[in-house]
Amino acid sequence: MPAWQEVARRRSRQEAALNRLVPLRAVGPDLCLLERDRFTAVVEATPVNFALRPAPEQERLVREYTAFLNGLDFPLQILVRADALRLDEYLGQLKAQEETVEAHLRPPLRDYLDFIRRTGQVQHLLRRRFFLILSWQGFDTRTRPLRRGEELWEEARQELLRRRGVLEQGLKPLGVRIRPLEGVELFEFIYASVGAGRALPRGVRWEWDRDRP
């Protein structure tokens, strides 16, 4: 078999495996349609500086976070991703937060900033990002998910907005802020998830022109 045919065959197998892993059918401004009328929305969470908290506060955060998770009435996927850290941008963000944190946390924060600055001079650093993935499943089982998905699009959006509100209300007392991924950011998240530089699955529709509610 010629080398180019072997490469094409391997690529076809990779695409088939990718479609099974990420059965993407359509992407809108703020949510995605997967197979069988399953919709997904993504939010990014900004975590608290847990290690800087005193032990009693750490215990309180763990208890409240556990109660929050146990109180959810819908599925939630938590994705932790390590991205290359843009050191200047990251340090600037932390420096901007210095005046907003409690006074007793400022000295440890300054020490942390100095440590990150020194470490970044000698080695490559990664930044952990936390994503919360919400899903909603339609009840129709017919074999044309894209057409059915278009009919359910607004219903899915409203339900995912409700669930996002539940997350926001439950995480805010813990100091965790969330923000939805929309438009280009949602596209970039999907693209990074399937592998940067790799073609997106065949048959995907990009619904950028849908009217927003």
Check pLDDT > 80 for residue 147. no
Determine contact, residues 42/164, Cβ cutoff 8 Å.
Answer: no
Percent pLDDT > 90 in the chain is 25
- State how far the Cα of 160 lies from the Cα of 69, in Å rounded to an integer: 17
Phi, psi of 93 (to 5 degrees): -65, -45
- State how far the Cα of 38 lies from the Cα of 153, in Å rounded to an integer: 10
Do 108 and 76 share a domain, yes or no? no
How many domains are there within the chain? 2
Check pLDDT > 50 for residue 142. no
Q: How confident is the model at residue 190 (pLDDT cuts 50, 70, 90)?
A: confident
Do 66 and 94 share a domain, yes or no? no
pLDDT given for residue 78 in this prediction: 93
Do 31 and 53 share a domain, yes or no? yes
In a domain, 181, yes or no: yes
Which structural domain, as residue segments, surrounds residue 110?
86-124
Residue 44, number of CB atoms within 10 A of its CB: 17
Contacts of 210 (CB under 8 A, 6+ apart): 28, 29, 153
In a domain, 213, yes or no: no
Q: How confident is the model at residue 181 (pLDDT cuts 50, 70, 90)?
A: very high
Do 73 and 160 share a domain, yes or no? yes
Check pLDDT > 70 for residue 203. no
In a domain, 49, yes or no: yes
Do 70 and 101 share a domain, yes or no? no
pLDDT given for residue 195 in this prediction: 59
Do 39 and 96 share a domain, yes or no? no
Residue range 25-65, pLDDT digits in tens: 777 888 888 776 788 999 999 888 777 788 898 899 999 99
Check pLDDT > 50 for residue 74. yes
pLDDT given for residue 13 in this prediction: 57
Tokens representing 57?
Answer: 């506060």
Classify residue 132 by burial, with Cβ atoms within 10 Å: 0-12, 13-18, 19+. buried
Per the prediction, the chain carries an average pLDDT of 75
Residue range 95-121, pLDDT digits in tens: 887 777 777 788 888 888 888 777 766
Determine contact, residues 116/125, Cβ cutoff 8 Å.
Answer: yes
Tokens representing 13?
Answer: 């197998």
Tokens representing 104?
Answer: 């007793």
What single-letter DSSP state applies at residue 212?
P
Name the CA dihedral angle for 159, 136, 24, 77, rounded to a multiple of 10 degrees.
110
Residue type, 128: R
Tokens representing 93?
Answer: 């963000």
